[in-house]
Amino acid sequence: MKYLFLLMLITINHGCSKYQLEPSLALNQMDKPIKINSYTIHMNKKIKIWTKDSLLKASENILQASMLLDSIPLVKSQNNKDYFHMDIDIKYWQGGAGGDAYLSAITLGIIPTWGEDNNLFEYKFNLYKNGKLYRSNNYSVNETHYSHILLLPFALIDNIIFNPPLDFYRAALHTNIQVYNKYEETNNLPSGKIIAHDDRYN
């Protein structure tokens, strides 16, 4: 009996999943990486401890030259250099097992089922320039999961080896530490003079 119960739990909690990030990431050719002086990161209580550690480690690896703070600093430009701060907010939502999961469990995975979890993860990146909000981008990770007894071996591989939500987070953070800098040089300007401006966020 206990083995039957264990198999039902495995069927409920494991399956193959397909993830999608919305909106998709688009890096403009004019986007250039900037120095992020400091950052803050917030996570809701539903995020599991091992997921939280992975997110913190990914943030630390990408923002190696940045200082982790507890709150957003009200810092102005220093020595004629802009001060950039990244405020990161991560939310995780995991609903209970739906009717499709119970159907798979009751039939021991013989009847294939599928379902969707929208906004499984939500990532928000607020970029502050000299103490003022400069840009804000929101992303959500949606999941479509499939359950069937034949998928259990693939489900184990899928859950142990791959972690698309974490990969999406890394890519989104990397994209958001890029700033659009458009340089224009025309024949009407004095020789060697370049106009630099950011016409998307000013």
pLDDT tier at 74, thresholds 50, 70, 90? confident
Residues of the chain with pLDDT > 90, as a percent, come to: 41
Task: Indicate the DSSP class of residue 111.
Answer: S
What are the pLDDT digits (tens) for 105-159?
565 556 667 778 889 999 999 999 999 999 999 999 998 877 766 566 555 555 5
Higher pLDDT, residue 104 or 13: 104
CB 34 within 8 A of CB 179: yes
Considering the chain, what is the average pLDDT of its residues?
76
Amino acid at 17: S
> How far are the Cα atoms of 127, 179, 192, 193, 202 from residue 185, in angstroms, in the given order?
28, 19, 8, 7, 20
pLDDT value for 27 = 67
Beta strands 16-22 and 132-147, pairing class: antiparallel
Integer-rounded Cα radius of gyration of the chain = 22
Centre a 10 Å sphere on the Cβ of residue 107 and count the other Cβ atoms it contains: 16
What are the pLDDT digits (tens) for 4-46?
455 445 544 556 778 899 999 876 666 788 999 999 999 998 8
Mean of pLDDT values over 164-178? 94
Lowest mean per-residue pLDDT among 20-24, 91-95, 147-151, 186-190: 186-190
38: left (phi over 0), alpha (psi -120 to 50) or beta: beta
CA dihedral 104, 107, 111, 114 (to 10 degrees): -10
pLDDT value for 197 = 33
CA distance 93 to 105: 22
pLDDT value for 190 = 37
Task: Indicate the DSSP class of residue 15.
Answer: -
Q: Minimal CA–CA distance to 139: which of 121, 156, 158?
A: 121
